[in-house]
Amino acid sequence: MTTFQLILYILIFLPLCLLFYRLTPQKHRWKALLGFSIIFYLMLCRELSLILYLAGAVLITHYIGIWLAWLQSEEQREIRESADSAGKSREKEIRSRYRTRARGVLAFGVLLLLSILAGLKYYNFLIRTLSEILNGAGLSSSLSEIRILLPLGISFYTLQAIGYMADVYWGRIKAEPSLAKTALFLMFFPQIIEGPICRHSDTAEMLYAGKTPERTDFTAGYIRIFWGLFKKLVIADRLALLVSQVFDDYRDYSGVVVAVSAVAYTIQLYMEFSGFIDIVIGSGRLFGIRLPENFRQPFCSQSAAEFWRRWHITLGVWFKSYIFYPVSVSGTVKRWNQYGRKHAGKYLTRLVTSALALFPVWLCNGLWHGDRWSYIFYGMYYFTLIILGTAIEPVRDRVLSACHISADSIWLRSFRILKTWLIIFTGELFFRADGLKAGIHMFRSIFRDFDIGNLWDGTLLNLGMSPADFAAVIAGCIIVAAVGHIREHSGSISTRIAGSSLPLRWGVCYALLFALLLFAAYGDGYQAIDLIYAGF
């Protein structure tokens, strides 16, 4: 979705949907939402056939859910029928039999969805890797890459679908009997492109209820949308010019310029992704639907682990719920736990257990982002840092205690935040670089010809951004940081403004609109900037 399409969405598509939604009787409103979602998807699809993948995912998810629900009801029926005659051992046998069957059904559904995702996303990656291996061994390869168009939002709706099926399997939710309602849950139009990745229990009830939104929802929704636009158009789209210039021709740059581009990309990514999520959450709010938050002031984090609890939160929660915890209570990890507690001591047992459960999380995190070794490196980078953080925790606590330094001391907190920034900037450099080799080259080039004077001697002005652009970006970042500070300590600002007096409400709306009109980056160079996470 380009900036131009985004503005059309906000100015035309969204108001038309809202009008139609309000005119539709409450019990049919969910159908209207489904209709808007289908139209939205068709409008953004580069090829109409790509909607077949989404339709397939809906069908698989829905009927696996129904199958699991049928197995659960059959299990209950058999238990009821055998309750009087055979006692508890028979009940256990029935439960175990049905659990095996349900596990098979769930695995079938998950494998189907994952094989579609993997086939589309990683086929060319596998071909490339195989060819490289064969070439390295002196053999020629007849395998060739094919042109694959990725269906919009596939990485997001696939995770949401797997989460739904797993929740039905575990009995956390009931299977949705209506196919159309399952479709709406998976493809609700604001969130289909970049998430947030919702659990059925987060949104389904609100999506289907069709309640009339309150006035505060309307105001808070629009404030959130304008705020998201501000972050994207004033800050992210400007930084995109500098970032693409340095990252696309990375061999021409070194030292401070590369370091600045890594910082600029991190800010661009945050402003763009969180800005778009603001637009998504604001859009949902206009219909009275509260979507889960995806960011919570990530640059306040004092460690890499905390950063991932504040950055792309719904992805982290998904990995925790459907990979980390299931792996941590799996047979292998439990066996290690029992062995470790007897032979290796509590510290080592905890560390290895954490590593065993965390490794697949970060491998999947890397792979989820795409078919590049640099993404896998990115996942392993955070895996290593988080495990190292856990490993040195006792030593760090002892050192702090011996030096009489409080964990809450402002100096220590500032040091930890700065250290986390370095970790984040380095990670994002590899994430954005055009492959792992380019990432390594760029990282090493930071230490070549490093001259801090490049920050103010005009070097940075040759990278596509004018002094006015730098001023707009810096001012924008200060405003975002100030709002983040208030949000961190006092909660949602848009809801509070929406509930305030009329002059303040309208004042904020007008201020945001004027800021957008005056300071947003418009022009030919900006309109074609695609959303970064929509590509995943």
Partner 1 sequence: MEKLMNILNEIDDSIDFASEERLIDDQLLDSFGVITLVAELEEAFDITIEASEMVPENFNSAAAMWKMVTRLQQEN
Residues that bind partner 1 (CB under 8 A): 169-172, 305, 309, 320-321, 324-326, 328-329, 333-334, 337-338, 341, 349-350, 353-354, 357, 390
- Work out how close the CB of 533 gets to partner 1 at its nearest, in angstroms, rounded to a whole number: 24
- Work out how close the CB of 320 gets to partner 1 at its nearest, in angstroms, rounded to a whole number: 6
- Work out how close the CB of 99 gets to partner 1 at its nearest, in angstroms, rounded to a whole number: 9
Contact 192, 40 (CB under 8 A): yes
Question: Rounded to an integer, what distance in angstroms lies between the CA atom of residue 314 and that of residue 156?
Answer: 10
Rg (CA), the chain: 25
- Work out how close the CB of 381 gets to partner 1 at its nearest, in angstroms, rounded to a whole number: 19
- Closest by CA position to 7, among listed 503, 536, 413, 522: 522
Contact 191, 198 (CB under 8 A): yes
Name the one residue in this structure whose structure tokens are 């810096």.
474
Contact 28, 210 (CB under 8 A): yes
> Running DSSP on this structure, what letter comes out for residue 171?
T
Contact 380, 427 (CB under 8 A): no
Q: Whose Cβ is closer to partner 1: residue 135's or residue 338's?
A: 338
- Work out how close the CB of 353 gets to partner 1 at its nearest, in angstroms, rounded to a whole number: 6
Q: Whose Cβ is closer to partner 1: residue 191's or residue 303's?
A: 303
Spell out a b/e string for 3-20, using b for 16 or more CB atoms within 10 Å of the CB, else e: beebbebbeebbeebbee
- Closest by CA position to 38, among listed 205, 203, 187: 187
The DSSP bridge partners found for residue 2 are 530
The DSSP bridge partners found for residue 530 are 2
- Closest by CA position to 14, among listed 255, 226, 185: 226
Q: Whose Cβ is closer to partner 1: residue 200's or residue 232's?
A: 200
- Work out how close the CB of 175 gets to partner 1 at its nearest, in angstroms, rounded to a whole number: 15
Q: Whose Cβ is closer to partner 1: residue 331's or residue 458's?
A: 331
Question: Rounded to an integer, what distance in angstroms lies between the CA atom of residue 307 and that of residue 187?
Answer: 28
- Work out how close the CB of 414 gets to partner 1 at its nearest, in angstroms, rounded to a whole number: 21
Q: Whose Cβ is closer to partner 1: residue 25's or residue 491's?
A: 491
Q: Whose Cβ is closer to partner 1: residue 26's or residue 409's?
A: 409
Helix (H) and strand (E) counts in the chain: 23, 0
Name the one residue in this structure whose structure tokens are 């636009």.
229
- Work out how close the CB of 96 gets to partner 1 at its nearest, in angstroms, rounded to a whole number: 12
- Work out how close the CB of 321 gets to partner 1 at its nearest, in angstroms, rounded to a whole number: 7
Question: Rounded to an integer, what distance in angstroms lies between the CA atom of residue 367 and that of residue 376?
Answer: 6
Contact 276, 531 (CB under 8 A): yes
Helix (H) or strand (E) holding 188: none
Question: Rounded to an integer, what distance in angstroms lies between the CA atom of residue 366 and that of residue 373?
Answer: 9
- Work out how close the CB of 479 gets to partner 1 at its nearest, in angstroms, rounded to a whole number: 28
Q: Whose Cβ is closer to partner 1: residue 263's or residue 344's?
A: 344
Q: Whose Cβ is closer to partner 1: residue 18's or residue 352's?
A: 352
| 196 cis-preceded (ω within 30 degrees of 0) | yes
Question: Rounded to an integer, what distance in angstroms lies between the CA atom of residue 300 and that of residue 306?
Answer: 9
Q: Whose Cβ is closer to partner 1: residue 353's or residue 374's?
A: 353
- Work out how close the CB of 91 gets to partner 1 at its nearest, in angstroms, rounded to a whole number: 10
- Work out how close the CB of 308 gets to partner 1 at its nearest, in angstroms, rounded to a whole number: 11
> Running DSSP on this structure, what letter comes out for residue 530?
B
Q: Whose Cβ is closer to partner 1: residue 88's or residue 147's?
A: 88
- Work out how close the CB of 346 gets to partner 1 at its nearest, in angstroms, rounded to a whole number: 8
Question: Rounded to an integer, what distance in angstroms lies between the CA atom of residue 260 and that of residue 461?
Answer: 12
Question: Rounded to an integer, what distance in angstroms lies between the CA atom of residue 21 and that of residue 33?
Answer: 8
Contact 291, 198 (CB under 8 A): yes
What CA–CA distances, in Å, run from 201 to 208, 275, 364? 12, 25, 24
Q: Whose Cβ is closer to partner 1: residue 251's or residue 346's?
A: 346
Q: Whose Cβ is closer to partner 1: residue 362's or residue 536's?
A: 362
- Work out how close the CB of 361 gets to partner 1 at its nearest, in angstroms, rounded to a whole number: 10
Secondary structure, 3-state, 316-353:
HHHHHHHHHHHHHCCHHHHHHHHHHHHHCHHHHHHHHH
Query: In the numeric block, which tokens belong to residue 205?
Result: 């009830």
Q: Whose Cβ is closer to partner 1: residue 338's or residue 409's?
A: 338
Q: Whose Cβ is closer to partner 1: residue 335's or residue 437's?
A: 335
Question: Rounded to an integer, what distance in angstroms lies between the CA atom of residue 121 and that of residue 100?
Answer: 31
